[in-house]
Chain A
């Protein structure tokens, strides 16, 4: 009986591993910024370049920081969702315009609508690099102290919002 037992066991174990593996995304990276504060920055506001925004401005309440660009098609797909979130969820949504032309970004927000409470211009991508951005769009969830607690890479869909972001936000809002 052992003749069948051992190979069968090995086969079952392998099948379990393969099944798990098929649902994993090999390209997905965990964020190195989790549980670390939003990186210090000082950048011009996209819509009013004379005004400077710093990391301190985005501290004090639970917030979403969305990294986007006009050249990023997934960001355009996500835009409708962001408009909805801005209207309905009550969470502060900030934007980082990553490696983009400010004029194009301003025109885009003017035409498609601006879901952001404030948008910062990251032309050289240094702020994105400090955040470990490797593909737009990326959205970071900050707690009240401005510490990054969660990072979602890719567009926010209904499913992502319901299953991942909303629970995290509600948990953080329940904390002091």
Chain B
């Protein structure tokens, strides 16, 4: 009984994967891989925190269809990316390109981390223990009742 249940569950989980590849069939392995790679690196401009592979938005479906037609027609990954960037701008790339405009985006976190680390270092080393001076030693002795 458990065996049957397990088999059923495995088949159930496989179903979505089979459905997805049927909707966009490829004869060529290289093209299929290119398609899969592109869907992962392109952003759905409607549901902007999802890539084209995940989004259910109508526009995402249109964009997937477009990518499929282009790949099927022999376009390279760069050509497909150019096609979409020329229409939607750099934002359609999930990983933003390194341009003068995005420099702050890429370097910002690293710089802030550096500044924070620097500040932390200065604070920590500044308040370290140091050897007591003569005045302080005398006061300490008095407080401790050294003579006793």
Contact = CB atoms under 8 A, between A and B. Distances in A.
Interface of A: 27, 29-33, 99, 125, 129-132, 134-135
Q: Tell me what chain B mostly uses at the interface: helix, strand, loop, or mixed.
A: helix
A30 B85 CA distance: 12
Given A30-B89, A32-B89, A125 B45 contact: no
B89 A131 contact: no
Interface string B71-93: 00000000000000111110100
Interface size class, chain B:
10 to 19
A32 B87 contact: yes
Contact of B85 (A29, A32, A99, A134): A32
A132 B48 CA distance: 15
B86 to A, nearest CB: 6
B66 interface: yes
A132 B87 contact: yes
Interface string B40-71: 00000110100000000011001100100000
A129 B63 contact: yes
Nearest to A135: B46
Given A27-B48, A29-B45, A131 B87 contact: yes
Contact of A130 (B45, B87, B89): B87
B62 A125 contact: yes
A129 B46 contact: no
A47 B107 CA distance: 54
Contacts of B91: 29
